[in-house]
Homo-oligomer: A and B are copies of this chain.
């Protein structure tokens, strides 16, 4: 695409383009934090990011793409903030629960943001596969790292368990986001699932 800067892993275009993209995602997160899914209106995002509506659609082909991309960026941030520090806990389930609690708390601290991002994730279709896959991989890696710290080889069961935990996480999160479950119940259900899967 761009002739310069061809050594970066992902070619994000010129500095101006990177800047626009960042402004758009910032505006998305800001609006989602304030008022959730409904508040992320394409015209409002465009205005707050100081780009034209057509430009917004040039960068993100739909509201769903936009929100899932924003979710991905937030997730990367959370994943990075978890960092390389060893995860506290003596057993696999303790460590997994620690990670889940931390991530969930991060989301629940911003209920509107969590609602917007979860909704988008649930509504995304195949055209958002790439973005979704990114998020899925990050989550799986976080969980398997918690299950087996410092281990690179994983059994099929490890991955399967991580996936099941991810599924439960998503389902309960949807329940919470849509106001069908309290935060406490959400946490309790997740922890129960972890204990059922990782008996230690």
Contacts and interface: CB of A to CB of B under 8 A. Distances in A.
Interface size class of A (residues with CB under 8 A): 20 to 34
The number of times this chain is found in the oligomer is 2
A180 B123 contact: no
A192 interface: yes
A90 interface: no
A123 B119 contact: yes
B123 A196 contact: no
Contacts of A189: 160, 163
Contact of A170 (B123, B124, B164, B171): B171
Interface stretch (A16-24, A49-57, A103-111, A125-133): A125-133
Interface of A: 119, 122-126, 129, 132, 157, 160-161, 163-164, 166-168, 170-172, 174, 178-180, 189, 192-193, 196-197
